[in-house]
Amino acid sequence: MSLDSLKVNKQLKLALNSKGIHYPTEVQAQTINRIVGGHDVVAISPEGTGKTTAVVMGVIAKLIFAKGDAPRALILVPTQEKVDELVLLFEELGVNTDLRVETIRKGSNFDYMRDILAEGVDVVISTPERLQPFYYKTGINITQIELFIIDGADHITRLGTHTATKQLGENVPEKSQHVVFTEVTHPKVEHMIEDFLRFPAYIEVKTEKKVDLEIIDSLVYEVRNFKTKLNLINVLAGDAVTYHKMLVFVNNKLNASKVYKSLEKRNVGQVVMLNAPFFNQRSVSNLEDFKEEEYYRVCVVSTEDLEQTLDFGGVSHLVHFDLKDDKDTIINRVVRQENASEETTALFFATENEISTLRKIEQTVGVSILIEELPLGTIVEGDVERLEVDLEPLVSDDPNKGAFHKKKDKNAKDYNYGIKDKVEKFGRYKKKKGKRKNK
């Protein structure tokens, strides 16, 4: 498909050709015409498929020229680096237009930025946490927004700025068009965008694997939080027959120490750490020492500053306690090594925020990882059901029978006077004269 098949103006075509872009990527081909046509769009596409360029192309093709004073396009991105990337793309692809682009950055002077925006702007780019307070202080007029775009929705949820994004999306005019670009989708992303989308077109672009990768058998446990992960790892470690040699990967030393302490309490003497950071923790300097000692069953590995190349031969389970490491690093662990046992299994503990990393791993290796139910005995922290308590039997007519009883009629209060009612009923309070006596 050539650029001629897209509903883009001549100015944008010239800019694209000058950059050596003569053919759109698949995500661009499927989204640009829908954006220009006014449809709400949710585009799901892996990294490196041209989503950010599609954002800029869509805005320029939709707005074309400068118009009015209030912003007409609002773009939210997860990081300041992404803001800079978009600004550069607008400079390159908008060279033949007069569209005015401004950013709201960390540390921006409120009065100065308010005056800049009041002078006239077409496109505003910002991170959610910077734009939200600016909006609430009436520093930006969003009543004329035609295009509300989120680029990197999954990254926004991972950084915890999804609430601000959701509120901003709900406050732009109802007639606005909404466009969402994301690498993966999961419940938190869907919850963030569901209230302001109107019959969106869902577009999913998948890339073929460049290299065939054989990975070891893998399972994922969906968990609620850190404490649930601790409960789960202890349940698994309690099965000494199945989990006889287990590596537990944790992304930092502090959390690795917490995992070690919890496991050691229930499996005394059977847990070690690879290069433990504290003297009171049982430690091994290399993985071979762990594998050779039969009594050791669990080795906790902090991936923070990990420089060793690990040989997983003889290890029964590779447990990824969290998914905060780089996805390529995790993939390298689960690609089958020559001396790896056929019985070696990789386990992933994934919270709602970490599901996006798991989806990226699946996209890269071309395999859907099976979801396993939590084993019996796993306590899900924060999942205690509320019990409905019937309070009537607790109410006693006998004032001598416990502290909880019905009030006497003369003490029963069925009113709530406001300050005006009190003045009318009882008069104003008169302060007594005289000095206060110290007791």
* Three-state secondary structure string covering 385-399: CCCCCCCHHHCECCC
Residue 374 confidence (pLDDT) above 60: yes
Phi first, then psi, for residue 158 (nearest 5°) are -70, -30
Position 19 pLDDT exceeds 90: no
Checking if the pLDDT of 387 tops 90, the result is no
Number of other residues whose CB lies within 10 A of the CB of residue 377: 11
Give the three-class secondary structure for 182: strand
Q: How many Cβ atoms are within 10 Å of 140's Cβ, its own excluded? A: 23
pLDDT of 398 > 70? The answer is: no
More confident residue, 282 or 356: 282
On whether the CB atoms of residues 87 and 124 are closer than 8 A, the answer is no
Q: Which residue has the higher pLDDT, 325 or 194?
A: 194
Q: How confident is the model at residue 150 (pLDDT cuts 50, 70, 90)?
A: very high
Q: Report the alpha-carbon angle 167-149-123, nearest 5.
A: 105
- 300 or 106, higher pLDDT: 300
Torsion angle, alpha carbons of 225, 226, 228, 231, to 10 = 180
Cα separation of 308 and 359, whole Å? 27
Q: Which of 286, 285, 288, 283 is nearest to 272 (CA)?
A: 283
Is the CB of residue 90 less than 8 Å from the CB of residue 101? yes
- Residues with Cβ within 8 Å of 334's Cβ and at least 6 positions away in sequence, in order, are 215, 216, 218, 318, 346, 365
Average of per-residue pLDDT values in the chain: 84
* Nearest-angstrom CA–CA distance, 295 and 217: 26
Query: Residue 217: what are its φ and ψ, rounded to 5°?
Result: -55, 135
3-state secondary structure at position 300: strand
pLDDT band at 386 (very low <50, low <70, confident <90, very high): very low
Q: Report residue 394's pLDDT band, with 50, 70 and 90 as the boundaries.
A: very low
Residue range 270-279: mean pLDDT, rounded? 91
Rama region for 250: left / alpha / beta (φ>0; ψ in -120 to 50; rest):
beta
Q: How confident is the model at residue 390 (pLDDT cuts 50, 70, 90)?
A: very low
Query: Looking at residue 403, what is its pLDDT?
Result: 44
Q: What is the pLDDT of residue 313?
A: 85
Q: Mean pLDDT across the stretch 109-122?
A: 90
- Looking at residue 328, its pLDDT comes to 84
Task: Spell out the domains of the chain, with CATH numbers in brackets.
Answer: 3-204 (3.40.50.300), 217-371 (3.40.50.300), 392-426 (no CATH)
Q: Is 121 exposed, middle or buried (0-12, 13-18, 19+ CB in 10 A)?
A: buried
pLDDT at residue 405, rounded to an integer: 47
In this prediction, residue 388 carries a pLDDT of 34
Report the distance separating Cα 265 and Cα 271, nearest Å: 9
Q: For residues 241 and 112, what is the distance between their CA atoms, to the nearest angstrom?
A: 67
What is residue 368's predicted lDDT score, i.e. its pLDDT?
Answer: 85
Pull the structure tokens for residue 393: 């039997």
> What angle (nearest 5°) sits at the alpha carbon of residue 241, between those of residues 237 and 244?
60
pLDDT value of position 33: 94
Tell me, what's the pLDDT at 22? 87
Using a 10 angstrom Cβ sphere, with 0-12 exposed, 13-18 middle and 19 or more buried, the burial of residue 157 is buried
Q: What is the DSSP letter of 417?
A: -
pLDDT on residue 340: 59
223-270 pLDDT tens trace:
999 999 999 999 999 999 999 999 999 999 999 999 999 999 999 999
Identity of the highest mean pLDDT range in 281-285, 321-325, 421-425:
281-285
Residue 391: what pLDDT?
37
Task: Find the mean pLDDT for residues 328-334.
Answer: 86
CA distance 248 to 232: 12
Beta bridge partners of 345: 217, 317
The yes-or-no verdict on residue 439 having pLDDT over 90 is: no
pTM recorded for the entire structure: 0.68
Instruction: Report the alpha-carbon distance of residue 257 to residue 273 in Å, rounded.
Output: 8
Tell me the percentage of the chain whose pLDDT exceeds 90.
Answer: 52
How far apart CA 32 and CA 34 sit, in angstroms, is 5
Residues β-bridged to residue 148: 74, 178
